[in-house]
Amino acid sequence: MPDSTPSEPIPILGGTGALGAGLARRWAQAGAAVVVGSRSAERGEEAAAKVRDAVPGADVTGLSNEEAAGKAEIVFLTVPFRAQSENLNNLREALHPGQILVDCTVPLAAAVSGKATRSLGVWQGSAAQQAQEMVPDGVTVVAALHTVGAPTLADGDAKLEEDVLVCGDKKADKARVARLIELIPGLRAVNAGPLEMARIVEQLTPMLISINSRYKTHTGIRLTGLPAHDHWS
């Protein structure tokens, strides 16, 4: 897949959290413009300033989630499961038909004071499918980035060698998201099938958390046997 800087910024809604902040840093290091969204523009700007301090010359700004959502056709939602519904409700007027919302939510039991190594059942089948029900008509949900650890992303010197499983109902939409993911060196986007497959992918996160705790490391997912050619074309 060609490596080119996108013409639009990459909005990260809920970007003040660990995953969002790590993604912002990595995309900034790759030369992409990033918009960090938060409940308030002030918090968004505080998080953006930290990225600019870590990555001199980075094009990173902070806005409210609602403002950030209108800055590009592809937006990333990186909030904990307990905050997913509230954020999507608040974004009903901010998202518009034709946009792609990349949902990175994992329904961990920690959302209800349980263990992070356990998952919650979601009536719709997965957090991503719940998001698809909640977004405005014409907005497409793609699920991705569930298995990439926030600590590894936040460590700008850490080398990434991971696959990112991308789920969605339209290959063209997944390909657009994959191009943004693969701007980050060491991440390879893999077409993992329709959105309903997110129910399986989301379950990998608590497993990885358990493994990382046991081995005191930050592991990820890597698939073998995939063809070397561009599988998105």
**pLDDT surpassing 90 at residue 115:** no
Residue 24 lies in a domain: yes
pLDDT digits (tens, 9 = 90+) for 58-77: 999 999 999 999 999 999 99
Residue partners of 98: CB distance under 8 A and separation at least 6: 73, 138, 139
User: What's the mean per-residue pLDDT of the chain?
Assistant: 92
pLDDT digits (tens, 9 = 90+) for 87-112: 999 999 999 999 999 999 998 756 55
Residue 159 lies in a domain: yes
Neighbours of 98 (CB within 10 A): 9
Asked if residue 72 lies in contact with residue 47, where contact means CB atoms within 8 angstroms, the answer is: no
CATH at 194: 3.40.50.720
Average pLDDT over residues 6-21: 94
Residue 223 lies in a domain: no
DSSP assigned state of 137: T
What pLDDT shows up at residue 175? 97
Residue 157 lies in a domain: yes
Asked if residue 60 lies in contact with residue 87, where contact means CB atoms within 8 angstroms, the answer is: no
Total of domains in the chain:
1
Residue 1 lies in a domain: no
**pLDDT surpassing 50 at residue 2:** no
The token duo for 219 is 């592991």
Sorting pLDDT into bands at 50, 70 and 90, what band is 35?
A: very high
**pLDDT surpassing 80 at residue 199:** yes
Residue 34 lies in a domain: yes
Residue 232 lies in a domain: no
- Domain housing 192: 10-215
What pLDDT shows up at residue 182? 96
Neighbours of 45 (CB within 10 A): 18
**DSSP annotation string for 36-92:** EEESSHHHHHHHHHHHHHHSTT--EEEEEHHHHHTS-SEEEE---HHHHHHHHHHTT
How many whole angstroms separate alpha carbon 170 and alpha carbon 192?
11
Residue 231 lies in a domain: no
